[in-house]
Amino acid sequence: MRILILGGDGYLGWPTAMHLTGQGHEVAVVDNYLRRRLCREENVEPLFEVPNLHERVDLWESVSGYKVPVFVGDLSEWDFIAEVFKSFTPEGIVHYAEQPAAPYSMLNRRAATLTLLNNLTVTANVIFAGREFCPDAHIVKIGTMGEYGTPNIDIEEGWLEVEHKGRRQNFLYPRQAGSLYHTTKIMDTDLLWFYVRMWGIRVTDLMQGPVYGLFTDENADMEQLLPFFNYDELFGTVLNRFVVQAVAGYPLTVYGKGEQTRGYLNIKDTLNCVYLSLESPAKPGELRIFNQFTEIFTVNQLAEHVQRVGTGLGMNVEIKPVKNPRKEAEEHYYNPKHTGLLELGLQPHYLTDEVLAEMMEAVLRHKDLIQHGHIYRQVKWA
Amino acid sequence: MRILILGGDGYLGWPTAMHLTGQGHEVAVVDNYLRRRLCREENVEPLFEVPNLHERVDLWESVSGYKVPVFVGDLSEWDFIAEVFKSFTPEGIVHYAEQPAAPYSMLNRRAATLTLLNNLTVTANVIFAGREFCPDAHIVKIGTMGEYGTPNIDIEEGWLEVEHKGRRQNFLYPRQAGSLYHTTKIMDTDLLWFYVRMWGIRVTDLMQGPVYGLFTDENADMEQLLPFFNYDELFGTVLNRFVVQAVAGYPLTVYGKGEQTRGYLNIKDTLNCVYLSLESPAKPGELRIFNQFTEIFTVNQLAEHVQRVGTGLGMNVEIKPVKNPRKEAEEHYYNPKHTGLLELGLQPHYLTDEVLAEMMEAVLRHKDLIQHGHIYRQVKWA
């Protein structure tokens, strides 16, 4: 299948590109290095340097023999996206091309506006360019479990059948997110759902939880093929951050009560979820939604797990609750369904002590690069 | 109260400005004439010419003695909105400043992108400028009943308490709209609701049905103070269009089965709803939602009513069902609540034969200006 990966330079984009070529797909990647630029601007660059896309593509070809065309440009510009879609005519589109960080979106007005406009414009352009140049292509969109927020009822997989005064209606599950970034993902879903109904486009929306990890089947032997690894408050997800904090001897910063509960997954499972979705595409006129995570943890559980494994490796890992800079429920009901991807064949990689130890050992090799000032910045939600 | 009307040149914006000054408020208006520009570009200009904002403000001052400052500029530009908010520091903000037409938003990619970006950017800027320059100001946002679509259960007033597997959660009513324009209004509501929760801003979201009419208490004696009156398929709402079609001897174009059901209101009631909302503002941290309409009709009922009144005035009014260019339910359940504004004191002006006859007589005075080519253009939804 010809698969175009939008945001192919990102934490998930590049590993996905390698994974899908390894599965026999013809893959091209698109990126404008937005995330690299924002990390540099905010002085929160990833743990180790990552070669640019052209360099990574060359490396991957030298290792695997697979050739991955690169398009560098901004998908929010119509002329650019039109040219890319027209020349590559994808059958599958993996849409990661968004500003991906909740804390960044709450940083200031400029960051909020950039997040809102970039994310919505790219999603709209993907829909319009798809219709014009590859109307049968299947769009696999990375959404987020954060779209649902933390409702007091079970989180179903995308849809909710409501009974009200003796009548019934099936709705897109009502969503209420905890950051502007997550709110733009709600809007993305609404936009995609509208054009699914109007134009019969084919969409899988993957409501993904926070991802952790570095290693995939494709990069394990080659450090230069590893993805970005952000450990800062702006772009680093919580478990990756805690691992770096443990290695750095920086107390694990648990926000508030630490009972915030989310569904997590290993980066290997992300790649497989995207692969499985592409292999069994949504039908024309279908918005298929999967909740994409494998295990549920509280922040306290993650901190304690990192502490236990770190201690076993001889580290001195402290846990330090700090005033929550975010506005969020610190204790809440959380029971999200996630059977769809398991039914498609997902074999989860769970968060074992070994997985955590492997991450810590990888970070240890770069311990001297860790900048303590990156870790805790306290972007306030209000 | 100091009230800033965003979109003060529009069908509702200018009448609102006159109405609120008449009620003793200090009012300023902002507009960039976007809607005038789009009507000209698409060759669907309103029935009669309307003076520009500076001219209308002068006319209104000469009639009423009230002075209304005018700001001409684009609210999607931060520097402009910041300057306006900083200099006027409103206590109440009436936000009409959006591309307001569903068919226009479905016209082509350019129109869709303009609608999406203009509407979202202006709403975001209103939130950000409000926080920076007048954090206690009450935002009265014009939403639309179209956000709800046509669900098979009762439409409550903004919120829905869901019982699911023995647990309960109160959600923003799940919304699923029938055009891109309406979808941008869903996004507006999500954006406002997010910042209501985060920053404690004060918002009233008025879910308005299609508005009809020309005359308000302030303009009845002065033709030059009448609002735009669009009768074309792009910018004209259905009842205004049918009135012009009846006068022009152009068969009333009923889409499909004509059982599409909506809540309608007289323009006088719009002004009063906005006034009542401003007088009893939402509290800090409250998103208050009212369903803003007074009567429910099917398209067939509207057509028959126009036919009956037109016939009484000696016109020959035909009704002609046409293939529906839109993708929508032509027969559906529809039971929306609308008690909130009545409880605030709204005294509805119903759609009587006299009201229709008065509209027809006004249009008759401009009969020679009606351009038949404007009326039916068949913008296809898919």
Question: Smallest Cβ distance to B381: which of A153, A190, A198?
Answer: A198
Question: Which of B113, B123, B125, B173 to mutate against chain A (most A CBs within 10 Å)?
Answer: B113
CB contact under 8 A, A162 and B165: no
Burial of residue B313 (CB within 10 Å: 0-12, 13-18, 19+) is: middle
Question: Containing H/E element for A94?
Answer: strand A92-95
Our answer to whether residue B294 is catalytic in this structure is: no
CB contact under 8 A, A164 and B186: no
Q: Which residues of B touch A78 (CB under 8 A)?
A: 109, 113
> Pick the residue with more confidence: A377 or B53?
B53
3 state DSSP class of A152? coil
pLDDT of residue A221: 84
Question: Smallest Cβ distance to A109: which of B128, B162, B186?
Answer: B128
Token pair 């829905």 is at which residue?
B160
Our answer to whether residue B185 is catalytic in this structure is: yes
What pTM does this model have? Answer: 0.98
- The DSSP output letter for B108 is -
Separation CA A31–CA A76 (nearest Å) = 11
Residue of B nearest to A151 (CA): B169
Q: Which residues of A touch B327 (CB under 8 A)?
A: 197-198
Q: How far is CA B206 from CA B119, B316, B371, in A?
A: 16, 37, 33
Q: Does B79 touch chain A (CB under 8 A)?
A: no
Separation CA A345–CA B10 (nearest Å) = 55
Going through chain B in order, the beta strands assigned E by DSSP cover: 2-6, 26-31, 70-72, 92-95, 138-144, 159-164, 167-172, 202-208, 211-212, 252-255, 261-266, 287-292, 295-298, 319-322
Q: Does B324 touch chain A (CB under 8 A)?
A: no
pLDDT of residue B364: 97
Task: Please determine, for residue B3, whether its predicted confidence score (pLDDT) is greater than 90.
Answer: yes
pLDDT of residue A238: 95
Q: How far is CA B219 from CA A215, B202, B362, in A?
A: 70, 31, 13
Which amino acid, residue A359? M
Which residue out of B115, B183, B185, B231 is catalytically annotated?
A: B185
Which amino acid, residue B242? F
Chain B closest-CA separation from residue A295 CA (Å):
22
Q: Which residues of A touch B381 (CB under 8 A)?
A: 198
Question: Which of A113, A119, A328 to mutate against chain B (most B CBs within 10 Å)?
Answer: A113
Per-state percent for chain B, helix, strand, coil, to nearest 5? 40, 20, 40
CB contact under 8 A, B153 and A168: yes
CB contact under 8 A, A164 and B183: no
Question: Which of B106, B147, B164, B180 to mutate against chain A (most A CBs within 10 Å)?
Answer: B164
- B residues 103-132 near A, CB within 8 Å? 109, 112-113, 116-117, 120-121, 124, 128, 132
Bridge partners (DSSP) listed for residue B314: none
Chain B closest-CA separation from residue A174 CA (Å):
5
CB contact under 8 A, A174 and B197: no
Separation CA A194–CA A208 (nearest Å) = 21
Q: Which residues of A touch B116 (CB under 8 A)?
A: 120-121, 124, 191
Which residue out of B66, B104, B181, B264 is catalytically annotated?
A: B181
Q: Does A198 touch chain B (CB under 8 A)?
A: yes
Mean pLDDT across B24-36:
97
Tens of each residue's pLDDT in chain A, 382 residues: 999 999 999 999 999 999 999 999 999 999 999 999 999 999 999 999 999 999 999 999 999 999 999 999 999 999 999 999 999 999 999 999 999 999 999 999 999 999 999 999 999 999 999 999 999 999 999 999 999 999 999 999 999 999 999 999 999 999 999 999 999 999 999 999 999 999 999 999 999 999 999 999 999 889 999 999 999 999 999 999 999 999 999 999 999 999 999 999 999 999 999 999 999 999 999 999 999 999 999 999 999 999 999 999 999 999 999 999 999 999 999 999 999 999 999 999 999 999 999 999 999 999 999 999 999 888 999 9
Separation CA B63–CA B222 (nearest Å) = 9
Q: Which residues of A touch B168 (CB under 8 A)?
A: 152-153
Chain B closest-CA separation from residue A245 CA (Å):
28
pLDDT of residue B378: 86
Q: Report CA dihedral (A280, A286, A287, A288) to the nearest 10 degrees.
A: -30
Separation CA A4–CA A125 (nearest Å) = 14
Chain A closest-CA separation from residue B234 CA (Å):
18
Residue of A nearest to B132 (CA): A109
Q: Which residues of B touch A199 (CB under 8 A)?
A: 382
Chain B closest-CA separation from residue A117 CA (Å):
7
Chain B closest-CA separation from residue A364 CA (Å):
38
CB contact under 8 A, A327 and B382: no
Chain B closest-CA separation from residue A220 CA (Å):
41
> Model confidence over B267-288: pLDDT tens digits?
999 999 999 999 999 999 999 9
Question: Containing H/E element for A321?
Answer: strand A319-322
Q: Which residues of B touch A76 (CB under 8 A)?
A: none
Contact of A207 with A147, CB cutoff 8 Å: yes
Which residue out of B16, B115, B123, B144 is catalytically annotated?
A: B144
pLDDT of residue B221: 84
Question: Smallest Cβ distance to A167: which of B120, B152, B190?
Answer: B152
pLDDT of residue B220: 84
Token pair 């330090």 is at which residue?
A320
